[in-house]
Amino acid sequence: MLESITPLLYIQLSPQRVSVRNARTGTTWDEVPEIALQDRPKPRVEAVGSKAREAAARTGARIANPLAHPRSLVSDFVLAQQLLQYGVRHVLGKGSFWQFTPSPRIVLHLPANPEGGYTQTELRALRELALGCGASRATLWQGPALTDGELLSGQYPATGQTLE
């Protein structure tokens, strides 16, 4: 019974876009993976996504893309986690109801294999990103985009693979 109310989140990552979708409700957050950071007096996130550039222009904050690196999907783990946490909170809501909702299951959709494939270190870091967003279980998926029906049934296309 708890399974039917557990949020199931589908997160697609790339250096150009990050998308978080609740497969049960259809609620989606889709943004550029940018964060505006104010370094003084102490480090602070000013804005996330498309609002980051506006905030940087207004406050002089610096812009960071934690998913932009030539050899790895994640260039800054802490900022990537803050980015994903923001998207997860946006999709799940911030009210008191969320406090009593079971921890979500997260399917993290990765881009095509980088040259040489993903290392075990990268896969562990990506799984840790999902778990750091409060996931009770994290699945790493590589293949075609998944529909809500595929996510809810757990029947993924044979043309892709889950990564361990």
Task: Report whether pLDDT(91) > 70.
Answer: yes
The rounded mean pLDDT for the chain is 89
Q: What is the pLDDT of residue 1?
A: 46
The CATH number assigned to the domain with range 2-31+71-163 reads 3.30.420
Q: What is the pTM of this model?
A: 0.90
The length of the chain in residues reads 164
**Per-residue CA distances from 158 to 110, 121, 127 (Å):** 16, 25, 22
What percentage of the chain exceeds 70 in pLDDT? 93
Indicate the pLDDT class of residue 26, thresholds 50, 70 and 90.
Answer: very high
